[in-house]
Amino acid sequence: MAVKPLLSVPREVKAGVPFEVRILIQHPMETGFRRDAVGGVIARDIIHTFECSVDGEEVFAARLEPAIAAKPYLAFSARLERSGTMLLRWVDDHGVEAQERVDIRVV
């Protein structure tokens, strides 16, 4: 079952006033440093890229390493002058890409 992330983004914000975006993603962030029961290396599988933008304009991006904990959590801040659609997008080592969209209204 594809698991939705926990996502906290306000649907309405005030122009120019910073607001917080929080996301928690279901992903093992397998480090590639562990061995399984028979001694084989468990292949690395991490989300390496995370990006957040609104209508194509960048808010925040992160390049993650295996040192980011399982079920990766990110909290950052954004500031909008105009209403728009926030796109949150991430990609893991298997090339699996996921995204969430949130319409945000500036009032």
Partner 1 sequence: MSTSAWCRALVLLLAALPAAAQERRSGYDDAGPQVRAMQDDDMANPAFLWVQQGEVLWERRVGEAGKSCADCHGAVSEMRGVAARFPEFDAARGRVVTLEQRVNVCRTDFQGAPALAPESDALLGITALVGLQSRGMPVAVEVSGAAAEAVARGEAFFRLRQGQLNLSCAQCHDQLAGQSLAGSRIPQGHPNGYPIYRLEWQGMGSLHRRLRACLVGVRAEPLGRDDALLGDLELYLAARAAGLKVETPGVRP
Partner 2 sequence: MRRRSFVVMAGAAAMLPLGARAKPEEVEALVRAITGGVPARPGRVKLDVPELVENGNTVGLTVSLGEDVPKDAVLTDIHVFADGNPRPGVVHFRFGKLAGVPKVATRVRLATSQTVTAVAVFADGSCWTDQVGVLVTWSACLD
Which residues would be at the binding site for partner 1 (CB under 8 A)? Answer: 1, 3-6, 8, 22, 24, 26, 28, 69-71, 73
| Dihedral sign from CA coordinates of 76, 81, 85, 87 | negative
Tokens 């990609």 — which residue?
91
Q: Which neighbouring-strand residues pair with 4?
A: none
Task: Kindly identify the residues of this chain, within the stretch 39-58, that bind partner 2 according to CB under 8 A.
Answer: 41, 53-54, 57-58
**CA–CA dist 81, 43 (Å, integer):** 44
- Candidates 1, 2, 3, 33; binder of partner 2 (CB under 8 A) is 33
Q: Which does 8 bind (CB under 5 to 8 A by kind): partner 1, partner 2, none?
A: partner 1
Token pair of 97, please?
């890409």
Residues that bind partner 2 (CB under 8 A): 18-20, 31, 33-35, 41, 53-54, 57-70, 72-80
